[in-house]
Chain A
Amino acid sequence: MAEPTIPLDDDLPVPPELQKTWAVLRRGLRESPELRTGLGFTLILSFAVIVATLVVPILIQKIFDHGFDGGFQAAYVYSICGIALVLVTGSYIAGRAAGRRLVTASEHALKNLRVRTFAHIHELSVAEQTKEKRGIFVSRVTADVDSLAEFTEWGGIAWLISAAQIAGALLLMLVYSWQLTIPLVLLVIPLLLVVGKLQAGFTSAYSLVRTRVGEMLSEVSESVMGAAVVRAYGLDESVHGRVANAIGNRYRAQMTAHRRAATLFPVAVLFQALGIATVVVLGAFYGESWGLTVGRVTAFLFLADLFLRPFADLPEIYSETQTAIAGWRKILTVIDLPVEIVEPEPGVVLEHGALDVRTEDVRYAYPDSDHVLHGVSLHIRPGGHVAIVGETGCGKTTFAKLLSRLADPVEGRIVVNGVDLREIAPASRRTAIRMVPQDGFLFDTTIRENVRQGRPGATDRDVETAFEELGLGEWVAQLPDGLETVAGERGEALSVGERQLVALARAQIASPGLLILDEATSAVDPGTEQRISEALRRLSHGRTVVTIAHRLSTAEQADHVFVFDAGRVVEEGRHEALVANGGVYARLYQSWLGNVSVG
């Protein structure tokens, strides 16, 4: 009953220290030192770009005021034009260098952040790596890291550059005329108020758009994922109606956003015109009495533009910053998830051969939920083949995960060959204790590489031997490309049964002393089924085997059966004895008999 992951705006709970915008920004910068190194020089280079924008009004003022003093001052005009050209060229070079430095630092930082987040996700315990969270984790490493790029390459520094441009223009205006500067500065107040109000409008409009897009996608995904049910029950029109309705709602939300966005630049243009008109009126009426010149007033026409324009860019920079902060917050939340499994250094190395396993009052609870294991104590002798049975939700799968240290018990301990599982060296544990999960997940590479992953440093010959030892040489030979056959995404180029065969070979190559088998439930064709049983028989030989049994026929064959119920071992013993006992196991067995023995 596999369900594809639906892209949802799902979130992990944000820790309190990452609620505040500034805290996120500070942490983000601390986690990515690549962004800070050399930032000072990059900033200096970026400010040099501002010089180029101020050159034009200065040039106008100089030429208008001094270029025609007592006839055309050709030498003066051409030389200041020459200086201006040099400055513009210089600022181009500085800008280019600043851009390159930003790109280099930012991409370096993003790559490292991506790899670190990914590595951290793999370190989390299986309790965190639930199916529901997979989609979230994937987007943290992909889309969320990408969402930072705009900010780290431009948005972050754009705040400073805009501030510098405003400051530079302001400074020059004050030099030319403080009287003309005052009305322009005063104009900034209503401009900021209006822009701020518009900004709030964009934020709410875009968040509505996101909600509507999400709603539309979940309607569509229901309609396609549930297509069979929709068709079989004649829901086509009502479901289509809901999808069409969601498309319409999304359209309306988009148009609200467009309407609000469409007002920003017209407002900015009007404010700019008001500023210029004010300069013209004041300059013409009082310019002479304030001791201004035609050049200075004309320069002001352009300075007003330079001074006011950055304010209209603020919403864009702001929204990019918001995007980045949101992305950072999501990534940092994952990075802050605690790693529960702490590996010993160097740890005890297990000797080769079948292992003795003892659990002492093992209890376990998944985060934020009730206990699923309530004190499990059991003992499995070396070479013993035991089955664990019980109804869905009895804790048997969780127990298997604890045995292979995919998570640690909350209380109690697991002792292997007399050593606490937590004291065993990771490399030793991984080859000596091997869990074979039921889904037979394979990587999208050849069968050979998939099996080789079972033991670091395994040779081609080792891989072939593993298959032969399991009696699968013949099966490999009849594959289209033998061991070079590609398994496909999640191994889906092979059938469920074939994937299990490869998974068994992957376990065989490690030669584990304890094998934990999570039995498959899916139907497999009879031929493959026989191969699997034979391979399992050979794989189990001389090893301690714990099988999480979904079939009572497996339990029938086990040396010893543990019956789990609601997180406890309620019965144990051999199959026959348990049946005779008349307890939980006997009831399970009776219903099984009732199902198979008719006719």
Chain B
Amino acid sequence: MSVTAEPIEQHDASRGMFLRGMRLVASYIRTHPGPFAVSLFGALLFAIGGIATTAVLGRVTNQVLVPAFSGGVDARTIWLGAAAIVGVAAVRALGIGLRRYFSGMTGERMMRTIRLQVAERYKELPVAYHKATPTGELLAHMEADVNAAVEVIYPVPFATGVLFLVLFAMVSLILTDPYLAAIGLLVIPTLALMNRSFARRVQGPVERAQERIGDVSAVVHESIDGALIVKTLGREDAETERLAARAEELRKERVEAGNIRAGFEPALEALPSVGIILLLGVGSWRVSRGDVTLGTLVQFVALFNLLAWPMRFIGWILAELPRALVGKDRVDQVLAQPVTVAPPARPVHLPDGPLGIEVQALDYHLDGLPILSGVDLEVRPNESVAIVGPTGSGKSVLAQLMVRLDDPDAGEVLVGGVNVRHVDPLELRTTAALVFQESFLFAASLRANIALDSGASDARIEAAAQLARAHGFIERMPRGYDTLVGERGVTLSGGQRQRVALARALVRHPRILILDDATSAVDPTIEAEILNGLREAHDATLIVVAYRLSTITLADRVLVLDDGRIVATGAHDELLTAEPRYAQIVRAYERGEV
């Protein structure tokens, strides 16, 4: 099982990338064809409305304005002209509205689709994946990567509409007058070429600036994370210089990109103006020869005006493609992670009464390294067993495999004689509880954190909290069991958190209770109280992954795990004399203790 992320290949601005990008866009359209079709319709409406607007302006000039100043025009024509102007604008407005809303809907639906897929996958992936991947990265796959992957779809309908507009403009220019068409043929492709050249020139600095942003943020993260060390070493100035150097590199790239843009933006404004001036110059000559009318001239000026702005959007899509592909690749990597723990097709029920655990020839690898190799063990119903071993011997993994948080590469785990792979996950969860060293609390009340969907009554919650020695400090809080904890709530100490986590397990009256170093941060006196309480009050099969002598003594029997194998088993006293490796571990525990 490997959870390391593959480095993402760099996308170059090649043809292959363009084709992949187009396929990506096409796949989005196929997933949500309805809203996309409406937005495309809106874009076409906008194009038609735009062209109609210029045509109406031309005819209004010819049939209303020019006659008005040379002989007169009847009122009906004037009102008709005005109505036409408003009418075609209404069509254009409707087109814009439809296009924007429904292209938004296409994108948002696609994002929702992908987010739900990622969430589903997060739900199914083994805990090891979540542990190995930084939370920030997991969140980025849900937010930034999805945005990057999908945002490219927003301007697609608009760009399609603009293409239609450009084509029509060219055709109508050619049909109307070859001279005016020549100007159009000069200006429109120049605009397109300028767009491409800009996109190409700015790509390098923009990408480099993006990398530099990463550098800056790496320095900031590291330095602020290690602020205490920076202070104790008196390295504040050295750190500031280190950041200043990175920030300067970023500044250079951004200035380079900004200067390219500063050349491009005014050119984008100026070029259509140049086209219009040429149009007016050449057009006047054509008007004087009677080849075109003033109205036609007005129409084309309006058309150029209309074209100037949206042309840049086509270039924008091309610039967005690499980002979209990278985003989609990152999301796809998550979706391609293998799901190792699959629920059984026909679940088998666990027997009633106390349950034993049997582990047979268990092998488990992480990132290609063996963690457990051929582990066999048996825990009898209602027995308490301590698992002991040096750091990295695979104790925690063994505990997790016992409650099927992951499946082994080989071998089986039997609970009450039933293979855990055949047990309904929910039934297993209500039967066996595992308490971790790192006790995660949800942003909710303490009551909810203990109950966790179990539907336990307040009385049961309090009883569990009492057994876990959490009741006392909870009662002393101003809001008691209603105190909010988690990211925005009250901060509990490590020991308090562990006691809440223990109560959370006890409230379910599990028939198998596994404690994975679950009381390591609890004060020793309280820990002793808890363990004694558990020994007396709790009627369950108990497995303790122990890092302290105190927890070992709770057990009827000790299993010694070393290098992924069970090397010895027996009572604590026997092992201490008979097994030198055990004695060594115990000595290490003593030194490292309290």
Is the Cβ of A391 less than 8 Å from the Cβ of B251? no
Contacts of B288 in A (CB 8 A): 68, 71-72, 74
Partner of A596, one of B86, B130, B590: B590
Is the Cβ of A111 less than 8 Å from the Cβ of B251? yes
Partner of A276, one of B85, B213, B287: B85
Contacts of A265 in B (CB 8 A): 93, 96-97, 100
Is the Cβ of B280 less than 8 Å from the Cβ of A294? no
Q: Which of B200-249 contact A (CB under 8 A)?
A: 213, 216-218, 220-240, 243-244, 247-248
Q: Told that A149-B254, A233-B508 touch, could you supply 17 new A-B pairs with CB distance under 8 A? A: A8-B488, A52-B269, A68-B284, A81-B281, A129-B224, A225-B440, A228-B400, A240-B123, A281-B78, A284-B68, A287-B68, A393-B493, A430-B234, A437-B229, A553-B594, A591-B528, A596-B593
Is the Cβ of A251 less than 8 Å from the Cβ of B122? no
Is the Cβ of B284 less than 8 Å from the Cβ of A95? no
Partner of A595, one of B134, B142, B217, B527: B527
Is the Cβ of A118 less than 8 Å from the Cβ of B220? yes
Contacts of A258 in B (CB 8 A): 100-101, 104-105, 108
Q: Is B17 an interface residue (CB 8 A)?
A: no
Q: Which of A80-95 contact B (CB under 8 A)?
A: 81, 84-85, 88-89, 91-92, 94-95
**Contact (A107, B108) CB under 8 Å given A294-B66, A526-B588, A595-B527:** no
Q: How far is the CA of A300 from the CA of B414 in the complex (A)?
A: 87
Question: What number of residue pairs across chains A and B have CB atoms under 8 A from each other?
Answer: 467
Contacts of B216 in A (CB 8 A): 114, 141-142
Q: How far is the CA of A216 from the CA of B243 in the complex (A)?
A: 33
Q: Which of B19-44 contact A (CB under 8 A)?
A: none
Q: Is B377 an interface residue (CB 8 A)?
A: no
Interface pairs (29), CB distance under 8 Å: A64-B294, A91-B270, A95-B266, A114-B216, A114-B243, A119-B236, A122-B239, A223-B122, A227-B122, A232-B436, A233-B452, A233-B454, A233-B508, A239-B123, A243-B122, A244-B119, A258-B105, A262-B96, A266-B94, A269-B92, A284-B81, A287-B68, A288-B68, A406-B232, A429-B234, A523-B547, A524-B391, A594-B550, A596-B589
Q: How far is the CA of A262 from the CA of B102 in the complex (A)?
A: 9
Which of A53-61, A168-176, A184-192, A194-202 lies on the face that meets chain B?
A: A53-61
Interface centre among B94, B234, B302, B504 (most CB of A within 10 A): B234
- Binary CB contact string for chain B from 271 to 284 against chain A (1 if under 8 A, 0 otherwise): 00110111011001
Q: How far is the CA of A436 from the CA of B228 in the complex (A)?
A: 10
Q: Is B162 an interface residue (CB 8 A)?
A: no
Partner of A121, one of B70, B224, B237, B553: B224
Is the Cβ of A110 less than 8 Å from the Cβ of B251? yes
* A side interface size, CB within 8 A: 162
Minimal beta-carbon separation of A214 from chain B (angstroms): 10
Q: Is B265 an interface residue (CB 8 A)?
A: yes
Q: How far is the CA of A203 from the CA of B130 in the complex (A)?
A: 36
Interface centre among A72, A96, A216, A269 (most CB of B within 10 A): A269
Q: How far is the CA of A494 from the CA of B397 in the complex (A)?
A: 21
Q: Is A572 an interface residue (CB 8 A)?
A: no
**Contact (A234, B429) CB under 8 Å given A138-B217, A255-B104, A297-B65:** yes
Q: How far is the CA of A55 from the CA of B231 in the complex (A)?
A: 61
Minimal beta-carbon separation of B485 from chain A (angstroms): 12
- Binary CB contact string for chain A from 423 to 454 against chain B (1 if under 8 A, 0 otherwise): 00011011000111100010110000000011
Which of A11-19, A98-106, A358-366, A473-481 lies on the face that meets chain B?
A: A98-106
Is the Cβ of B226 less than 8 Å from the Cβ of A251? no
Contacts of B66 in A (CB 8 A): 294
Q: Is A598 an interface residue (CB 8 A)?
A: yes
Partner of A284, one of B65, B240, B263, B301: B65
Is the Cβ of B220 less than 8 Å from the Cβ of A277? no
Q: Is A579 an interface residue (CB 8 A)?
A: no
Q: Is B61 an interface residue (CB 8 A)?
A: yes
Q: Is A352 an interface residue (CB 8 A)?
A: no
Contacts of B115 in A (CB 8 A): 216, 247
Minimal beta-carbon separation of A212 from chain B (angstroms): 12
Contacts of A239 in B (CB 8 A): 123
Is the Cβ of A596 less than 8 Å from the Cβ of B549? yes
Partner of B594, one of A216, A293, A592: A592
Of all chain B residues, which has the CB nearest A83? Answer: B277
Q: How far is the CA of A298 from the CA of B237 in the complex (A)?
A: 65
Q: How far is the CA of A38 from the CA of B486 in the complex (A)?
A: 50
Contacts of B287 in A (CB 8 A): 68, 72
- Binary CB contact string for chain A from 492 to 536 against chain B (1 if under 8 A, 0 otherwise): 000000000000001000000000000000011110010001000
Contacts of B142 in A (CB 8 A): 216-217, 220
Q: Is A236 an interface residue (CB 8 A)?
A: yes
Q: How far is the CA of A393 from the CA of B428 in the complex (A)?
A: 39
Is the Cβ of B572 less than 8 Å from the Cβ of A443? no
Q: Is A153 an interface residue (CB 8 A)?
A: yes
Partner of A490, one of B226, B521, B524, B572: B226
Q: Is A229 an interface residue (CB 8 A)?
A: yes
Minimal beta-carbon separation of B334 from chain A (angstroms): 11
Q: Is B90 an interface residue (CB 8 A)?
A: yes
